[in-house]
A = this chain, B = another copy of it.
């Protein structure tokens, strides 16, 4: 049996609205209307709004790293891969309208849900690990040791993305990339 097209439309619509508008201001009714599906179909696939949120986070996380792998694959050198990671995140911000990292957004909205927080932690830790692996392989300028460089690059990225949301611009993320370049 093939995957349900209805389920995909629900998740697509919910993802877009959760990210663009926010989770709490997005009602089930709006999702149903914009996805153009029946109310019972939604509750058949996702027993509660929380399940829909978790599915959104899981799919976003999965897609994030699949696309990253594709993005980095043609780049041979670890140093250039590290810079491309900045480009990748910039590309995503451009594509989705400078609203910041979806995981940081949901953390800001739902401070206490353990299931949500756990997924955010996993996502961020995996980004940090990706950076660390590349730093270990890269022949960088050794202005810092590997651990410190890892932290620096990660902090610069997170800072650039979050400022992109407040200024609706790529300026700070681009500066972050330039700084990274000078440190590598």
| Identical chains in the assembly | 2
Give A47-60 as 1s and 0s: 1 = Cβ < 8 Å from B's Cβ atoms.
00000000000000
Q: Is B179 in contact with A22, judged by CB distance below 8 angstroms?
A: no
In the assembly, what is the distance between CA of A109 and CA of B103, in Å? Answer: 12
With both chains docked as a complex, state the minimum distance between the C-beta of A120 and any C-beta of chain B, in angstroms.
5
Q: Is B166 in contact with A120, judged by CB distance below 8 angstroms?
A: yes
Decide yes or no whether A69 CB sits under 8 A from chain B. Answer: no
Decide yes or no whether A124 CB sits under 8 A from chain B. Answer: yes
| Chain A residues within CB distance 8 Å of chain B | 20-22, 24-25, 99-100, 103-105, 107-112, 117, 120-121, 124, 143-144, 148, 151-152, 154-160, 162-163, 165-168, 172, 175-176, 178-179, 182
